[in-house]
Amino acid sequence: MYTWIPLNSSADLDALGAEISAEYDPQSIIKRLRAGISGAVKGVLIERNYVDKDYRSTYYNFYAKKGQFYRAHCVRLHFFDATVTFDAKALKLGCPDGQLQDHYFGFIVLRPTGIATIGRSVLSPDVRMGTSGYIITATHKVHLLGYKLSIQGFPSMDQHIDISVCAHVACWSILRHYSERYSVYREFLTHDITLMTQQFNPGGLVPSKGLEVSHAERVFQEAGTFPMQVPRAGKNDTSFYRQLYAYVESGFPLFAAMQSRQHAIAVVGYAWHPAVLTPIKKMQYAWDKVKSLVVVDDNHLPYHSIPVHGGTGYSAEDIDDFIVALPEKIFYPADAVDRLAPTLFQLGTLLALPPENKTILRYFITTGSALRSFMRKRESEFDPKLLETVMTLPFAQFVWIVELATAADWAAGQISARAVLDATASLRERLPFWLFHNRSKALVFNRNSVGAGAKGIRELALSGMEKTALTRLDQNLRPTQSK
Amino acid sequence: MKKKPEKQEKQEKQEKQEKQEKQEKQEKQEKQEDKNVFDLIEGLTSVDPDQLADFEKAMSDEVIPEIVKMVEKRRMLAAKSRHWPLKC
């Protein structure tokens, strides 16, 4: 039932061919693992007769109804580093420090469907060749041989082709991430997703004929989220990409559609250009610093890296629409923040800011409690009066953060000023702020009485922050540590 | 008239005192909640509203109308892109 395959080189993956039967299409798996998994993986444990809930959902509702016999069980491949050993007689895994968890890189489920056999998989981004940067992840529990393991990653699978297509898989990946990451969302299996796209069960092979963007929107709505669709307004709509980045930076994986390719993917991360101190000649946005996006595409192993421009396959330029599955209380859209952010320089008479043409703007959503937690962990960076202010302001659950950084700040992971906006503000509010501060002063806005306007603003002189670090707020995504 | 036992009298007095203290505490707490958030933060000073005049004018005359226009534009575009087929 269990077989250990030690890997000294990627050629050793060929052994999978002899261990796994043809219905799991081992040759195609070997090829993809050779091209996609790093040399840090030194052992693969094959677990046979695995009951995979997602495959079973399609088995009970589709494969079991076919004349062709399909197995009910899957095979699961687990990946480990060089320190792990397997005692085949005692069915025990071991490692010198006894911390098996620290040497585990995740799993891939293989479905007995002959084609497109990669099922529910959660791999560590650290062992994916060619992947770098910041990635949205959740902790996924894994039960193996009586060991309770966990893996930080983003779920992925191949499309079934006959009963699900790329868009079903992108929806499934995002919703499985949500159910693992946030207790408020329930789990949806592959078959559930195919049903959620329609008002009624269309039966037969209808799902494989594809779906429309609106169907994906419907899936997210059915799942209890509040989907917002953002289409690109022409080829030169840079605001579209700035918003795409902002939502990913906020920890929301995106359902991204490419009209020309009739293809859908999930955008789950990004990588910066190397942080080199280069002078800025005009105002920039964080998006201008993004080198590539990390996506979950059902035609590739997870964490496929796509460039912003060019490349051999598709690039970020091919994305022309995305859906972000938001929680309920985010009313102020990224479009509004994108337009408002450069206007902050008009508050320069009240609060010293870097010159507009030498500033990099970055905006994203976080929770009021995450902001407080970030500042609490870095108490030494702030005047205690600013801390008191942030701890006292009655933030709504979500806030938009706008950070202003010079080129030198950016290279050092620092900022010059930070604005906190109310994510529940309405589009027509002139002052949708909670707070705006630099190193010497904070503007505090009264949101406790409607219509307070400019009269409801106070300033707070700050001291002791002139030379302290003012760190960029980076905490929604997991940095990749390539192995 | 029969006088109340000393123990009972003492207990009643204590209960009355506790009730009064509780009421005072509650009133104090309510007052604290009614307080403007600015009263809870030390060191705040007023800002001359005229200093925000340019910002507010820019928001009213340019920024908000552009935001509303852009949101509407994307809404119209989304009505079309909703029908894009996805099957690869």
C-alpha count within 13 angstroms, C-beta hemisphere, residue A260:
7
Q: Tokens 């604290």 belong to which residue? A: B32
Q: Which of A209, A339, A454 sits opposite B52 (nearest CB)?
A: A454
Strand A417-422 and strand A284-285: the pairing is unpaired
Task: Give the angle A300-A306-A308 at the CA atoms, nearest 5°.
Answer: 165
Does B55 contact A346 at a Cβ distance shorter than 8 Å?
A: yes
Shortest Cα–Cα distance, A197 to chain B (Å): 12
Contact in structure between A327 and A398 (CB atoms under 8 Å): yes
CATH architecture of A226-327: Alpha-Beta Complex (3.90)
Does B77 contact A166 at a Cβ distance shorter than 8 Å?
A: no
Tokens of A482: 């390539």
Q: Which of B51, B71, B81 sits opposite A213 (nearest CB)?
A: B81
Contact in structure between A54 and A120 (CB atoms under 8 Å): yes
Q: Tokens 């002052």 belong to which residue? A: A431
Does B81 contact A443 at a Cβ distance shorter than 8 Å?
A: no
Shortest Cα–Cα distance, A441 to chain B (Å): 11
Tens-binned pLDDT, residue by residue, of chain A (483 aa): 899 999 998 889 999 999 999 999 999 999 999 999 999 999 999 999 999 999 999 999 889 998 999 999 999 999 999 999 999 999 999 999 999 999 999 999 999 999 999 999 999 999 999 899 999 999 999 999 999 999 999 999 998 777 778 889 999 999 999 999 999 999 999 999 988 988 777 666 555 667 899 999 999 999 999 999 999 999 899 999 999 999 999 999 999 999 999 999 999 999 999 877 778 889 999 999 999 999 999 989 999 999 999 888 899 999 999 999 999 999 999 999 999 999 999 998 899 999 999 999 999 999 999 999 999 999 999 999 999 999 999 999 999 999 999 999 999 999 999 999 999 999 999 999 999 999 999 999 988 877 777 788 999 999 999 888 899 999 889 999 888
Nearest alpha carbon to residue A181 among A210, A211, A155, A212: A155
Task: Give the angle A381-A383-A386 at the CA atoms, nearest 5°.
Answer: 110
Q: Which of A229, A455, A460 sits opposite B44 (nearest CB)?
A: A460
Tokens of A439: 């190193």
Q: Residue B32's pLDDT is what?
A: 57
Contact residues for A346 (Cβ-Cβ < 8 A; gap 6+): B54, B55, B58
Contact in structure between A123 and A238 (CB atoms under 8 Å): no
Does B88 contact A166 at a Cβ distance shorter than 8 Å?
A: yes
Contact residues for B46 (Cβ-Cβ < 8 A; gap 6+): A458, A459
CA distance B42 to A391: 13
Shortest Cα–Cα distance, A391 to chain B (Å): 10
Strand A441-445 and strand A433-437: the pairing is antiparallel
> What is the pTM assigned to this prediction?
0.91
C-alpha count within 13 angstroms, C-beta hemisphere, residue A453:
13
Q: Residue B2's pLDDT is what?
A: 58
Confidence of residue B13 (pLDDT cuts 50, 70, 90): confident
Does A320 contact B82 at a Cβ distance shorter than 8 Å?
A: no
Kindly list the residues from chain A whose CB atom is less than 8 angstroms away from the CB atom of residue B59. Answer: 340, 343, 430-431
Angle between helices A213-222 and A166-181 in degrees, nearest 10: 20
Residue A274 CA, distance from chain mean position: 21
Kindly list the residues from chain A whose CB atom is less than 8 angstroms away from the CB atom of residue B72. Answer: none
Nearest alpha carbon to residue A476 among A338, A371, A388: A371
Confidence of residue B10 (pLDDT cuts 50, 70, 90): confident
Mutate: best of A221, A457, A462, partner B, most B CBs <10 A: A457
Q: Residue A453's pLDDT is what?
A: 77
Torsion angle of alpha carbons A63, A110, A147, A13, nearest 10°? 160
DSSP bridge partners of A392: none
Does B44 contact A393 at a Cβ distance shorter than 8 Å?
A: no
Question: Backbone dihedral region of B70: left (phi > 0), alpha (psi from -120 to 50 degrees) or beta?
Answer: alpha
3-state secondary structure of A470: coil
For residue A74, count CB atoms less than 10 angstroms from its CB and return exposed for 0-12, middle for 13-18, buried for 19 or more.
buried
At A438, which amino acid appears?
N
Q: Which of A165, A430, A459 sits opposite B47 (nearest CB)?
A: A459
DSSP bridge partners of A293: A270, A306
3-state secondary structure of A355: coil
Task: Give the angle A446-A449-A453 at the CA atoms, nearest 5°.
Answer: 60
Interval A408-437: pLDDT, tens? 999 999 999 999 999 999 999 999 999 999
Q: Residue A277's pLDDT is what?
A: 75
Shortest Cα–Cα distance, B4 to chain A (Å): 51
Does A458 contact B45 at a Cβ distance shorter than 8 Å?
A: yes
Q: Where are the domains of chain A?
A: 2-153, 226-327, 334-478
Q: Taking 60 as the threshold, does the pLDDT of residue B29 lie above it?
A: yes
Which helix (H) or strand (E) element contains residue A153? strand A147-153
Interval A180-197: pLDDT, tens? 999 999 999 999 998 898
Q: Which of B54, B67, B80 sits opposite A335 (nearest CB)?
A: B67
Which helix (H) or strand (E) element contains residue B45? strand B44-46
CA distance A242 to A88: 52
Mutate: best of A300, A344, A428, A434, partner B, most B CBs <10 A: A428
